[in-house]
A and B are shown apart, each in its own frame.
Chain A
Amino acid sequence: MHKLKQRYQYSHILLREMVRTDFKLRYQGSVLGYLWSLLRPLFMFTILYTVFVRFLNIGNDIEHPAVYLLLGIVIWNFFVEVTTGSVSAIVLKSELIRKINFPKYVIILSILIGAIINLLFNFVIIVIFIIWNGVHVTPSALLMIPLLIELCAVSLAVAFTLSALFVKFRDVTYIWDIVVQAGFYLTPILYLFSRLPHDYARLMILNPLAQIIQDSRHALVTTQSTTIYQIYGGDKWIWLIPVSFTVVLLICGAGYFRSQSKSFAEEV
């Protein structure tokens, strides 16, 4: 019991220092420093808003198109940040891994936490947009909490799998780049679900990310967002499919990572 506590204490200490270091180094040497954490999403949103909402009139059929669009992008970007950041993370830390024994999952967790910090900054901007667009926030906004937990779980699951695979197969990073590109269009970020053929929609919404994005929009922005509940004609338990998919993926990913992590020191 004491040993167990000691082990997690070490992980905890390491995790804190790694997150702290990454955060310190992120904007080092820039004049505006941490302010960029807010400015970056703000500028990115402005560009996307101008292109998609103003010029392409993407959101004529939906309430608050700007917030609708931004929320989807923020969630997608979080997933991409965690997963692509993790792919080469183990190999990048090879110096450490070869010199000292520490729980390797801390590396992936530190990336997740870094991304969560970014997500919080992004949400500050989203809240500004919500107020500016006059979105009526209802108590259903609280659903964001379990949805974000699901988002973390699915990101972590993929991150564990990819980072462990990358140690053996360096092709993973290129493959994942392509998957992310395709995934961006296979997920209802820039377009409305209601425009898709019903069969496609039924399949696509089973993707945890599509489900998370649509549910989040429903909870936070507008009830016009098509959720998995509506696509499957009011089946109360349908959400169990993407959620259990996430859970299984997380267990497998973490298990694979754990079994591989023993030989990381020899293979990186």
Chain B
Amino acid sequence: MTDDTVIRVEHVSKDFVLPHEKVTSIKSAFTGMFSRSRTKESQHALKDISFEIKKGEFFGIVGRNGSGKSTMLKILAGIYQPTKGSVETRGKLVPFIELGVGFNPELTGRENVYLNGAMLGFSRKEVSRMYDDIVAFAELEKFMDQKLKNYSSGMQVRLAFSMATRSEADILLIDEVLAVGDADFQRKCFDYFKELKRDKKTVVFVSHDMSAIREYCDSAVLIEQSELKLRGSADEVSAEYTRLFLDQTDHKAKQGDRWGDESIKTKHIAVKVNDDTLTITQTFEAQADQASVIAGFRIRNAAGQEVTGTNTKFERIKIPALKAGDIKTLTWSMPNCLSDGKYVVDPAILHQDGVRVLEWWDAAAHFEIKKDRRLPYILDPSFNLKIQ
């Protein structure tokens, strides 16, 4: 290992053996016990993965559910042994696969701090040194002598997180654990991330929240279907991940994620992207006589989050009654306040009662925003700044 490499993963593969046992009778249970021919299936969780992480790097592992990214993290943590290949790490490594490992509800908060501390490799002396800090950060001064089972779940998470942040490690492995909790807690987590980044800690962060990856990670790998697809900067990797998602959305849309009662049909939908305006044109044709309808759309980003949307009812505009064959074109425009990324538009037409769906079309149109600003948030309105 060169001097500044702290984690080296070389040709790591991991197979899980899934035994198939279907004992149908007592007799077969007995005969099966001795026959060696029990069927076993090998599941490849990871295939030939190699990468290196340098000291002080904030490193992301990105992938969809079931892609193998959590398995990778567990191998880095030493919880799983790779079937093939090797992992070398240097320095004190503390994994946070879950917060509060080893917490025991029957013990007091204080005792749990020492127990969890031991799990993370801290002696009683070391824990005593950081004890006041931990308690103060968790804001639980009054509760430390109560049993953990009498804590609310929020209090437990606070205590566990506080332990995690006070622990001094050279390398931190963080799973998506931090995605749980309320907004206030998430803010605390992200503040902690910033602190880690400032202190130049080596962090391995597993997530499928691309905005977090882009904001905090220097570089990342994308794991897709057990294989390493891409190793690059956080931006490159998150763009690739987003594309993967979009491909899947396309696929779904093609499979006909469009439904309704056929009484009205969207003929055309288009999105025009300008530097400062987004224009969405929506044309539909009535197939039968209609009373007034409600037409609108919603915009989703690549992660599937519903970013914004509206319809004629929200806008208090009434579309006059339609006869069969009538064609209407709606031109919506809005300020281009979305951040970089790919988006889909789902147009919808509802009955005037606002409940019955006349037509719904998922991902009818796609568009991309490229401002080259790399803002890790959903919205990117034009900001004005005055410095005095």
Interfacial residues, chain A to chain B (CB-CB below 8 A): 9-10, 13-14, 16-17, 21, 24-25, 28, 95-102, 262-263, 265-266
Tell whether B106 is near chain A: CB-to-CB under 8 Å: yes
Tell whether B104 is near chain A: CB-to-CB under 8 Å: yes
The 5 tightest CB contacts between A and B, nearest first, are: A101-B78, A17-B118, A262-B81, A99-B101, A265-B79
Nearest Cβ in chain B — how far from A53, in angstroms?
39
Residue among A9, A24, A96, A262 with the most chain B CB within 10 A?
A24
Nearest Cβ in chain B — how far from A6, in angstroms?
8
Tell whether B111 is near chain A: CB-to-CB under 8 Å: yes
Within 8 Å CB of B122, what residues of A? 13
| B119 and A21 contacting across the interface, CB-CB below 8 Å | no
Nearest Cβ in chain B — how far from A4, in angstroms?
15
Nearest Cβ in chain A — how far from B157, in angstroms?
15
| B79 and A99 contacting across the interface, CB-CB below 8 Å | yes
Tell whether B273 is near chain A: CB-to-CB under 8 Å: no
| B80 and A266 contacting across the interface, CB-CB below 8 Å | yes
| B95 and A100 contacting across the interface, CB-CB below 8 Å | yes
Tell whether B376 is near chain A: CB-to-CB under 8 Å: no
Within 8 Å CB of B121, what residues of A? 10, 13
| A100 and B79 contacting across the interface, CB-CB below 8 Å | yes
| B98 and A99 contacting across the interface, CB-CB below 8 Å | yes
Complex CA distance for A98 and B78, rounded to whole angstroms: 10
Within 8 Å CB of B98, what residues of A? 99
Within 8 Å CB of B104, what residues of A? 21, 25
| B107 and A100 contacting across the interface, CB-CB below 8 Å | no
Complex CA distance for A16 and B126, rounded to whole angstroms: 14
Residue among B104, B118, B124 with the most chain A CB within 10 A?
B118
| A99 and B97 contacting across the interface, CB-CB below 8 Å | yes
Nearest A residue to B80, CB-CB: A265
Given contacts A100-B101, A263-B81, contact A14 B106 (CB under 8 A): no
Within 8 Å CB of A28, what residues of B? 106
| A21 and B115 contacting across the interface, CB-CB below 8 Å | yes
| B119 and A96 contacting across the interface, CB-CB below 8 Å | yes
Q: What are 7 A-B interface contacts by the 8 Å CB criterion?
A: A13-B122, A21-B115, A25-B107, A98-B97, A99-B101, A100-B102, A101-B95
Tell whether B332 is near chain A: CB-to-CB under 8 Å: no
Complex CA distance for A265 and B80, rounded to whole angstroms: 6
Nearest A residue to B116, CB-CB: A17
Question: Which residues of B from 96 to 149 have beta carbons under 8 Å from A?
Answer: 97-98, 101-102, 104, 106-107, 111, 114-115, 118-124
| B107 and A21 contacting across the interface, CB-CB below 8 Å | yes
A-B contact count (CB 8 A): 57
Complex CA distance for A95 and B119, rounded to whole angstroms: 12
Tell whether B192 is near chain A: CB-to-CB under 8 Å: no
Nearest A residue to B126, CB-CB: A13
Complex CA distance for A56 and B80, rounded to whole angstroms: 56
Complex CA distance for A17 and B125, rounded to whole angstroms: 13
| B79 and A13 contacting across the interface, CB-CB below 8 Å | no
Complex CA distance for A168 and B101, rounded to whole angstroms: 24
Complex CA distance for A102 and B104, rounded to whole angstroms: 18
| A14 and B118 contacting across the interface, CB-CB below 8 Å | yes
Tell whether B190 is near chain A: CB-to-CB under 8 Å: no
| B119 and A100 contacting across the interface, CB-CB below 8 Å | yes
Nearest A residue to B120, CB-CB: A100
Mask, B220-236, CB within 8 Å of A = 1, is 00000000000000000
Complex CA distance for A61 and B77, rounded to whole angstroms: 62
| A96 and B79 contacting across the interface, CB-CB below 8 Å | no
| A13 and B118 contacting across the interface, CB-CB below 8 Å | yes
Tell whether B259 is near chain A: CB-to-CB under 8 Å: no
Complex CA distance for A70 and B80, rounded to whole angstroms: 46
Residue among A14, A17, A96 with the most chain B CB within 10 A?
A17
| B118 and A100 contacting across the interface, CB-CB below 8 Å | no
Question: Which residues of B from 350 to 370 have beta carbons under 8 Å from A?
Answer: none
Given contacts A96-B102, A100-B95, contact A17 B114 (CB under 8 A): yes
Nearest A residue to B77, CB-CB: A101
Complex CA distance for A17 and B104, rounded to whole angstroms: 12
Nearest A residue to B119, CB-CB: A100
Nearest Cβ in chain A — how far from B243, in angstroms?
33
| B16 and A266 contacting across the interface, CB-CB below 8 Å | yes
Tell whether B74 is near chain A: CB-to-CB under 8 Å: yes
Mask, B60-103, CB within 8 Å of A = 1, is 00000000000000100111110000000000000101100110
Nearest Cβ in chain A — how far from B175, in angstroms?
10
Nearest Cβ in chain A — how far from B32, in angstroms?
14
Complex CA distance for A14 and B115, rounded to whole angstroms: 8
List 6 extra interface pairs beyond A24-B107, A96-B102, CB under 8 A. Answer: A13-B118, A13-B121, A13-B123, A99-B97, A101-B77, A101-B78
Complex CA distance for A98 and B119, rounded to whole angstroms: 13
Complex CA distance for A233 and B288, rounded to whole angstroms: 110
Nearest A residue to B17, CB-CB: A266
Residue among A14, A97, A100, A265 with the most chain B CB within 10 A?
A100
Nearest Cβ in chain A — how far from B147, in angstroms?
9
**Of the candidates A10, A262, A265, which one forms a contact with B74 in the assembled complex, judged by CB atoms under 8 Å apart?**
A265
| B115 and A96 contacting across the interface, CB-CB below 8 Å | no
Complex CA distance for A102 and B115, rounded to whole angstroms: 14
**Of the candidates A102, A263, A265, which one forms a contact with B119 in the assembled complex, judged by CB atoms under 8 Å apart?**
A102
Within 8 Å CB of A9, what residues of B? 123
Within 8 Å CB of B124, what residues of A? 13, 16
Within 8 Å CB of A102, what residues of B? 119
Within 8 Å CB of A25, what residues of B? 104, 106-107
Nearest Cβ in chain A — how far from B129, in angstroms?
14
Nearest A residue to B92, CB-CB: A6
Nearest Cβ in chain B — how far from A169, in angstroms?
10
Within 8 Å CB of A95, what residues of B? 101
Within 8 Å CB of A101, what residues of B? 77-79, 95
